[in-house]
Structure 1
Amino acid sequence: MPPAASTTVTTCPGKRRASWSSGTPAPGPGSVFRRPQSDSSLRLSFVPVLPRKLLVSQSRASQPPASDQRGPIVSVAMDPKRRRRRQRRAGAVSAFMVLALGLAFFFESQATTTVIVVRHADVVAALGEDPGLSPAGAIRAEELARVLVEVDVDRPLKAILVAPGKAYRETAEPLARRINLPVQEVDSTDPDALANWILKKYKGEIVLVVADAMTIPTLIPKFQGSKRVPDLADGEYDNLYVVSIPWYGRVKTLRVRYGSRPAPL
């Protein structure tokens, strides 16, 4: 007896070409049915057909990892010309940084020097050769301290230099107490030597000099300041000169007045 033939019916989504009894569960789309020819009744059997995407993913999963397929790592030597170019660029960058730091240090060390020159405050008349300050002079000394206590927003005064004498020291003491600096006595009889010493020792700093009326007009030109500083009258105590000495450029001389103007004699 020849073997029974079978008929294969494939169902697609949305279309059905076979029927089944109510007791048989409906197969899913994409299934293959086989029915024996000898059977008069429709007996369905199905084999699931996997979607293409699932088959592809399964085939990829069965493959070994990509790392297993790679061969040994081979290091490629850099072209000597390219290496030399990189070395030259790195050397140029390093040289530029060193030059920039050097220039910054140079210009910082060559900063502007500022010398503030004032006459001692009002003195008591007819009290010998070394008089002290009068009550008006004491008030003026306090006003000088108020004006100069924060003369620069970045850094305070570096030194307070005074000529020998009681009036000079008393003029500078209120400011010295506020900024916690000592009062240094200097020889003001040689303005040229005094100016050279200040420029060398306090280069790039701010310095206050308290001098007498005869020294001021000769001291300021020694800093390359104005040569037109007028002589000070006997009762003229309210002048304050600011000499700005840059590393390069023109020296500027400013004059401001502080405190009350003394009454004319």
Structure 2
Amino acid sequence: MRRRLFAPLAVLACMLLAACASRLPVAADTATFIVVRHAEKVDASHDPDLSAAGHARARALAERLGELPLAAAYATEFKRTGQTLSPTAQARGLAITAYAAGEPAAALAARLRAAHPRGTVLVAGHSNTVPAIVAALCGCAVAPMPDHEYDRLSTIRIGADGQPRLLVERYGAATPAPAATP
């Protein structure tokens, strides 16, 4: 009886130790950049607020990132990028650092990598800037982002070996394709 109880507990203890061991080096030696486009906007004006769907997506981002500790959050000077990161930043007591939307992606990536050699950084941009930012951070080819796409979440992990790894996922409600015009 005692042996039957001990075996499952031993397996569970080994699994917990392995999980802890695999997470600690990642946090200590890895820089992670999570890059998203701002969420849906209320209209096509120069500096619009987020729409109801956009606010829902911003909350979905906060939920998607869960309790992930963040070292910093960056958004352009436009309201929609800051509003997209706001629920996530507020949940962690982080201020959002503004950067110029027109800053060259290579310069921004170099600045982010220098300022955050470890930890996780959240960055919000625009459909015409996010692919270039991701490409500059990972040193890889990145698909363009159509204007109707709001659900792409790109994670770039740079390990102690300096090699970036890109993972592209989706978050929140799926972005519907625009209706075809006859």
User: Do the two structures share a fold, i.e. TM-score over 0.5?
Assistant: yes
Per the alignment, residue 262 of structure 1 pairs with: 175
CA distance in 2, matches of 1:205, 1:249: 14
Shift of 1:219: 1.3
Aligned: 1:215 with 2:160: no
Q: Which runs of 5+ in 1 are unaligned?
A: 1-106
CA distance in 1, matches of 2:79, 2:113: 26
Per the alignment, residue 8 of structure 2 pairs with: none
Per the alignment, residue 12 of structure 2 pairs with: none
Contact 1:187 1:194 in 2 (8 A): no
Per the alignment, residue 5 of structure 2 pairs with: none
Shift in CA distance, 197/125, structure 1 to aligned 2, threshold 3 Å: same
Letter in 2 for 1:149: G
CA distance in 2, matches of 1:246, 1:136: 35
Letter in 2 for 1:255: V
Shift of 1:110: 7.3
SS of aligned partner of 1:252: strand
Moved over 4 A (4+): 107-110
Shift in CA distance, 173/109, structure 1 to aligned 2, threshold 3 Å: closer
Shift in CA distance, 187/115, structure 1 to aligned 2, threshold 3 Å: same
1:194-234 CA distance string (max 9 Å, x none): 1111111111111000011111111122223431x111111
Q: Which runs of 5+ in 2 are unaligned?
A: 1-24
Q: Where is the helix percentage greater, Structure 1 or Structure 2? A: 2
Aligned: 1:142 with 2:96: no
SS of aligned partner of 1:223: helix
1:31-70 CA distance string (max 9 Å, x none): xxxxxxxxxxxxxxxxxxxxxxxxxxxxxxxxxxxxxxxx
Q: How does 1:39-54 map onto structure 2 within 5 Å?
A: none
CA distance in 1, matches of 2:162, 2:110: 18
1:84-104 CA distance string (max 9 Å, x none): xxxxxxxxxxxxxxxxxxxxx
Q: How does 1:39-188 map onto structure 2 within 5 Å?
A: 111-126=29-44, 128-151=45-68, 156-188=69-101
Contact 2:26 2:159 in 1 (8 A): no
Aligned: 1:226 with 2:140: yes
CA distance in 1, matches of 2:168, 2:147: 18
The structure showing larger relative contact order (alpha-carbon pairs under 8 Å, at least 6 residues apart) is: 2
Per the alignment, residue 156 of structure 2 pairs with: 243
**Structure with bigger gyration radius:** 1
Q: What is the percent sequence identity of the aligned residues?
A: 33
Contact 2:42 2:49 in 1 (8 A): yes
CA distance in 2, matches of 1:168, 1:140: 12
Contact 2:152 2:168 in 1 (8 A): yes
Cα-Cα RMSD: 1.9
